[in-house]
């Protein structure tokens, strides 16, 4: 579930904390790293349950309207298309989602004010109005509605981001990543999927879990070697004046280039340049680009970059 991009970001954040914390041990920092990754998985489930909670609110309002002393024809004959949405029902009945939510106490029941606010925004939106006015809909139509709900409503909702910031310090930098994973999950639902349909696991596979451990530990263990390489290739710069985050990003890039033969050089290079745009200074990406280019050439000349696997053998 957790993308390689987010895993890189998590390692970067915990490396920063590791070096800034005087009472540091690799084991303690690694434990915090995996806890942080687990919190991203909590957010994934939290978001999937959001649309389910809104459907529940809608159903309660319909029941309340029917129970009026003098209900209108609209009250008695409500449009139930939203609460009957096939994908929302699949989420509501999904065993894996329910089990994880119950085991980890993930719920929206303590956020009634926000849920009410978001529901009001939803029913006033063109997305909802157009969807409800369509006389019929297929599973594909229902899926598109849920996808757009996350893409256009949740992703742009400032109140949502404020809520997330209050709920967990671990969620501030990963909401957009997790929303993309939620949308990918929704896209994966098929009409005949039952309640046992699998949603995303924490790691895509054992390789991703090993990737995180190796990237984190090897970056710390090779810190001295990497600092010497960076210093050699930044002779015109005072190392103390280079942004600490820039140094960490370059160290991570060096580790990935050397330790992961199945990851293309270009992928590692571009990933860390993108991360630099968000997590360091405005000029960092261009600076890191220049220094990494020199470092990659040095590693290749010294035979420290060896790529294997389909399509990678001739890369270096």
Per-residue model confidence as pLDDT tens digits over 258-291 = 999 999 999 999 999 999 988 888 778 888 999 9
Confidence band, pLDDT 50/70/90 cuts, at residue 309: low
Work out the average pLDDT over 238-262: 89
Does 200 have pLDDT greater than 90?
yes
pLDDT at residue 122, as a whole number? 98
CA-angle at 72, arms to 68 and 74, nearest 5°:
115
Q: Among 157, 190, 189, which residue's Cα sits nearest to residue 175?
A: 157
How does 13-39 read in b/e, with b if 16+ C-beta sit within 10 Å? bbbeebeeeeeeeeeebbebbbebbeb
Point out the least confidently predicted range of 45-59, 85-99, 113-127, 238-252: 238-252
Instruction: Give which of 316, 217, 210 is closest to 268, Cα–Cα.
Output: 316
Encoded tokens for 292:
């990494």
> Tokens in use for 24?
């540091």
pLDDT score, position 279: 87
Q: Which of 125, 144, 129, 46 is nearest to 86 (CA)?
A: 144
* 31 vs 24: CA distance, rounded Å: 12
Here the tokens at position 264 are 């293309």
């Amino acid at each position: 579930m957790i993308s390689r991009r987010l895993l890189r970001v998590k390692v970067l954040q915990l490396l920063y904390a590791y070096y800034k914390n005087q009472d540091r041990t690799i084991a303690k920092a690694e434990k915090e790293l995996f806890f942080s990754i687990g919190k991203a998985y909590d957010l994934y489930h939290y978001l999937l349950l959001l649309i389910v909670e809104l459907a529940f609110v809608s159903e309660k309002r319909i029941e309340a309207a029917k129970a009026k002393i003098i209900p209108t024809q609209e009250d008695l004959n409500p449009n139930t298309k939203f609460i009957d949405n096939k994908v929302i029902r699949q989420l509501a009945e999904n065993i894996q989602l329910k089990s994880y939510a119950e085991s980890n106490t993930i719920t929206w029941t303590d956020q009634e004010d926000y849920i009410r606010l978001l529901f009001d925004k939803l029913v006033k939106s063109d997305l909802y109005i157009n969807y409800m006015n369509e006389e019929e809909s297929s599973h594909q139509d229902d899926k598109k509605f849920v996808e757009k709900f996350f893409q256009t409503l949740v992703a742009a909702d400032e109140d949502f981001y404020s809520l997330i910031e209050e709920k967990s310090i671990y969620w501030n930098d990963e909401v957009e990543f997790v929303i993309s994973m939620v949308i990918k999950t929704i896209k994966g639902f098929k009409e005949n999927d039952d309640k046992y349909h699998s949603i995303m696991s924490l790691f895509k596979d054992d390789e991703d879990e090993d990737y995180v451990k190796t990237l984190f530990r090897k970056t710390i263990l090779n810190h001295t070697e990497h600092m010497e390489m960076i210093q050699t290739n930044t002779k015109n710069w005072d190392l103390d004046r280079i942004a600490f985050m820039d140094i960490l990003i370059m160290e991570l890039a060096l580790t990935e280039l050397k330790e992961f033969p199945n990851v293309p050089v270009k992928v590692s290079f571009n990933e860390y340049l993108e991360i630099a745009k968000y997590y360091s200074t405005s000029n960092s990406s261009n600076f890191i680009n220049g220094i990494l280019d020199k470092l990659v050439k040095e590693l290749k000349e010294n035979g420290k970059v060896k790529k294997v696997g389909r399509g990678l053998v001739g890369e270096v």
